[in-house]
């Protein structure tokens, strides 16, 4: 557990059903800003910075995805939230999958965006962790933005991309590296059948990190899961395609 509480913000009407948003590696709760307003008209929306990110503490590593789940459950307990729906993108999706499998009594519905049961081979993530510890997150920023956004979106909304880049480069180097190590060890392929909450998987047609075929396979492996693929979207759909993502989320949450 993180010794200090996670930095968080709660929006939306008191007494409404709670929706928790879990962000991507190298981002912060700000990446959800464009989907906040339509969600917060109907739900109590909880956003927090994952450990090692944004304004949350960055305790020394190593981290595991289970630690990020424990942080999330600890925050729910602190806020007196017994049960919620969860929307997680990329690393945030991994957190939501494990949470749904290990604490099913806390989960109403689940939306898994641009995420997978395994993110490539561990060696690549360990190399990324070493690079960031040596050179900082700036060394990975340009390549990350190219994976997160299509060239067309970058030309159309350069300010939005620059803001996300600023968040990425401000991420604590040790926090980012320790989360890379957590992702390196993440392999949930044999546990997907444990997810009992009604689930929707959302992918991007042009996502180089999680292909639409992998999103389709993830949905097929989770009992009863629905699938939505957003055309022309790369990885960070919450920023580049908020309307399409929000429509899918609201339809699933009901």
3-state secondary structure of 53: coil
Note whether 87 and 249 are within 8 A (CB).
Answer: yes
Q: Kindly give the pairing relationship between strand 8-11 and strand 44-48.
A: antiparallel
Instruction: Give this prediction's pTM.
Output: 0.97
What pLDDT is attached to residue 158? Answer: 98
Compute the mean pLDDT over every residue in the chain, rounded to the nearest whole number: 97
CA atoms within 13 A on the CB side of 244: 17
What pLDDT is attached to residue 61? Answer: 87
Residue 100 has pLDDT above 60, yes or no: yes
What pLDDT is attached to residue 1? Answer: 45
Instruction: Please give the average per-residue pLDDT across 174-183, as a whole number.
Output: 98
What pLDDT is attached to residue 64? Answer: 98
pLDDT, tens digit, for every residue of 204-237? 999 999 999 999 999 999 999 999 999 999 999 9
Instruction: Please give the average per-residue pLDDT across 142-166, as a whole number.
Output: 98
Domains and CATH numbers, the chain: 8-253 (3.40.50.1820)
Note whether 20 and 46 are within 8 A (CB).
Answer: yes
Strand order of the β-sheet with 44-48 is: 8-11, 44-48, 18-22, 84-89, 107-113, 199-204, 226-230
Other C-beta atoms closer than 10 Å to the C-beta of 254 total: 10
Instruction: Please give the average per-residue pLDDT across 98-125, as a whole number.
Output: 98
- Provide φ and ψ at 124, rounded to 5°: -65, -40
Instruction: Please give the average per-residue pLDDT across 113-131, as a whole number.
Output: 98
What pLDDT is attached to residue 5? Answer: 83
What CA–CA distance (Å, rounded) separates 28 from 22? 9
What pLDDT is attached to residue 4? Answer: 66
pLDDT, tens digit, for every residue of 20-68? 999 999 999 999 999 999 999 999 999 999 999 999 999 998 999 999 9
What pLDDT is attached to residue 98? Answer: 98
């Amino acid at each position: 557990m993180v010794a200090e509480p996670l930095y968080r913000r709660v929006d939306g009407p008191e007494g409404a059903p709670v929706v928790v948003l879990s962000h991507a590696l190298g981002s912060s709760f700000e990446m959800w800003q464009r989907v906040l307003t339509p969600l917060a008209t109907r739900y109590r929306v909880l956003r927090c910075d994952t450990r090692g990110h944004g304004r949350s503490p960055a305790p020394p590593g190593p981290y595991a995805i289970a630690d990020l789940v424990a942080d999330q459950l600890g925050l729910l307990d602190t806020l007196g939230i017994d049960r919620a729906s969860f929307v997680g993108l990329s690393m945030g999706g991994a957190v939501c999958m494990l949470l749904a499998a290990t604490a099913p009594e806390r989960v109403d519905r689940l939306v898994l965006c641009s995420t997978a049961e395994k993110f490539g081979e561990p060696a690549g993530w360990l190399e990324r962790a070493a690079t960031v510890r040596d050179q900082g997150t700036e060394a990975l920023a340009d390549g990350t933005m190219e994976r997160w956004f299509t060239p067309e979106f970058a030309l159309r909304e350069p300010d939005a991309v620059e803001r996300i880049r600023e968040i990425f480069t401000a991420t604590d180097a040790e926090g980012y590296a320790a989360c890379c190590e957590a992702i390196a060890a993440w392999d949930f392929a044999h546990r997907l059948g444990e997810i009992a909450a009604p689930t929707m998987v959302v992918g991007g047609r042009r996502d180089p990190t999680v292909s639409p075929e992998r999103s389709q396979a993830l949905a097929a492996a989770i009992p009863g899961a629905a699938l939505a693929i957003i055309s022309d979207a790369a990885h960070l759909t919450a920023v580049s395609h908020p309307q399409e993502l929000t429509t899918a989320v609201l339809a699933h949450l009901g």
